Amino acid sequence: MTEPRVRKAVEADVCNVLPLMRELAEFEKYVSSFAVTEEVLREQGFRRSPPEFHCLIAESGDELVGFLVYYFVPFTYRAKPNLIIKELYVADGCRSKGVGKLLMRAVAKEAEQAGCGMIKWYVAKWNGRGIRFYERLGATIDPDWHEFQMSEKVFRDLAAS
């Protein structure tokens, strides 16, 4: 593997990012619900202004070896935006080679440039390797908050009630 480099994704990268997104869906066991298509990525990430998400990609030579998808929550109690990491994935054969750290360093620079007060993300409880990776970077697990969620059916039922 040649020395990886990180850059912001452009619309032409969509066809190469999507297969890695599918790999992540398989890894995290939600591939049966995976609905992202090239058109969704193009529309939401590259054709809207502002985009609904941003994407960094890691390349080794001509090969895409990882990606990080993020977005901003523009206002928080700190009166600064938060950067939210939605997805971070490094291709199986490229893990433990510094790719994840390069992506995290690049997103930290994005947060710094945007004047963010915090970077946040979720990690599956069963993903011990990922948790250890983030802890080595200095991240901590928030002990004070629980994530709540409503399925589409539940929020539609609530809206109709």
Write out the catalytic residue numbers. Answer: 134
The letter for the amino acid at 34 is: F
DSSP-based helix, strand, coil % in the chain, nearest 5: 40, 20, 35
Tell me whether the omega of the peptide bond preceding residue 143 falls within 30 degrees of 0, making it cis: no
Q: List the helix and strand counts (H, then E) for the chain.
A: 5, 5
d(CA 21, CA 67): 8
Closest of 59, 66, 135, 117 to residue 95, by C-alpha: 66
What tokens does 81 get? 């935006």
Closest of 122, 38, 80 to residue 130, by C-alpha: 122
